[in-house]
Amino acid sequence: MFKPIERTAARERLGIDKSVFMVLFVGRLVEGKGVHIVLEIAKIMKDVEFYIIGDGPLREDVTRASLEARNVHYVGPVNNLSLPVWLSASNVLIVPSTGEEGFGRVIIEALACGIPVVGSNLGGIPEAIGPHVGKIVPPTPEEFMRAIREISRSPYSSQEIRRYAEERFSIKNAEIILRSLTDR
């Protein structure tokens, strides 16, 4: 499980203002991951800072958007040691996939850092997001904006999110579940 870092300390390490509301996208920059939804949202939600981590065929589109919009920041790919810092610095992770998606590891990593997740209602995404740790919405800019606004007005408990991740996704609990299934 990822270990969280205190948000203020994470933002200091990354040079991000502690007062901004930060939305993070982590994933391959391809059509099915919904990065275009992030860019659409950023055009409207000017008071929110959007950070995009990843690489792929849509890199040039994301780079261009980050040059044109003051609230879009293209980070590029990051290594696994840096990812917990980025997750801990953010207020919410968004997973706006528009295609059938498997069970996303980044969702579990965000939850382990105590970060709420807004994810598409497609594929395996809803399986990872419980009612008190994020929101599941159709993959449209309007629905993602609504969910982000709700989270910004009523923040989730980081401790509750981490507890959910530990109970649901830790290796220790996976072993217990597997044993109970094989002992039948």
Question: CA 142, CA 157: separation in Å to the nearest integer?
Answer: 25
CATH of domain 7-182: 3.40.50.2000
The pair of structure tokens assigned to 32 is 């099915």
pLDDT tens digit sequence for 154-182: 878 888 887 887 777 766 655 554 554 45
- Confidence band for 46, pLDDT divided at 50, 70 and 90: very high
Residue appearing with tokens 């270990």: 3
- Kindly write down the DSSP assignment for every residue of 114-146, as one continuous string: T--EEEESSTTHHHH--TTTEEEE-SSHHHHHH
pLDDT tens digit sequence for 71-120: 999 999 999 889 999 999 999 999 999 987 777 789 999 999 999 999 99
What pLDDT does 128 receive? Answer: 87
Helix (H, G, I), strand (E, B) or coil at 23: strand
What does the domain layout of the chain look like in residue ranges?
A: 7-182
